[in-house]
């Protein structure tokens, strides 16, 4: 069965420092991977996706994610964190059998001034 894991419930980082939010996946076949962000009192918003091609995917708000097939990972990164990046981040993978997305449990990112 398709699945994603977000091993960290919370990530703390100082403003201006690089950030990484981790995601690993388990799929049969080539994965379709997504990152979403949820700001307080808002719905989930699409950040970026990997379908095929370049392993480094660039998305909204300066975020990028690196697809690593050998490590079955799709970590979200940003070179310099902002306080406004503080939010809940979800990784998701497409389930080919049902054509729906399987979401991870979410990682809360806290950026301190």
Partner 1 sequence: DAGVIQSPRHEVTEMGQEVTLRCKPISGHDYLFWYRQTMMRGLELLIYFNNNVPIDDSGMPEDRFSAKMPNASFSTLKIQPSEPRDSAVYFCASSRRSFYGYTFGSGTRLTVV
CB 85 within 8 A of CB 102: no
Give the span between the Cα atoms of 47 and 62, in whole angstroms: 10
Phi, psi (deg, nearest 5) at residue 28: -100, 125
Residue 5 CB, nearest approach to partner 1 (Å): 13
Stretch 6-65 residues interacting with partner 1 (CB under 8 A) = 32, 34, 36, 41-46, 49, 51
Is residue 106 a contact residue for partner 1 (CB under 8 A)?
A: yes
Choose the binding region for partner 1 from 12-20, 21-29, 56-64, 102-110 (rule: CB under 8 A): 102-110
Kindly tell me which of 81 and 104 has the beta carbon lying closer to partner 1.
104
Kindly tell me which of 46 and 112 has the beta carbon lying closer to partner 1.
46
Quick one: CA dihedral 41, 43, 57, 28, positive or negative?
A: positive
Give the span between the Cα atoms of 35 and 62, in whole angstroms: 13
Binding site for partner 1 (CB under 8 A): 32, 34, 36, 41-46, 49, 51, 90, 94-95, 98-101, 103, 105-106
């Amino acid at each position: 069965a398709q699945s994603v894991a977000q091993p960290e419930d919370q990530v703390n980082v100082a403003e201006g420092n690089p950030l990484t939010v981790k995601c690993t996946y388990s799929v049969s076949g080539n994965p379709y991977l997504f990152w979403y962000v949820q700001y307080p009192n808002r719905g989930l918003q699409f950040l970026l996706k990997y379908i095929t091609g370049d392993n480094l995917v660039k998305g909204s708000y300066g975020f990028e994610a690196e697809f690593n097939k050998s490590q079955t990972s799709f970590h979200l990164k940003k070179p310099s964190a902002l306080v406004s990046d503080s939010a809940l981040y979800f990784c998701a993978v497409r389930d080919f059998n049902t054509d729906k997305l399987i979401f991870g449990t979410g990682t809360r990112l806290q950026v301190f001034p």
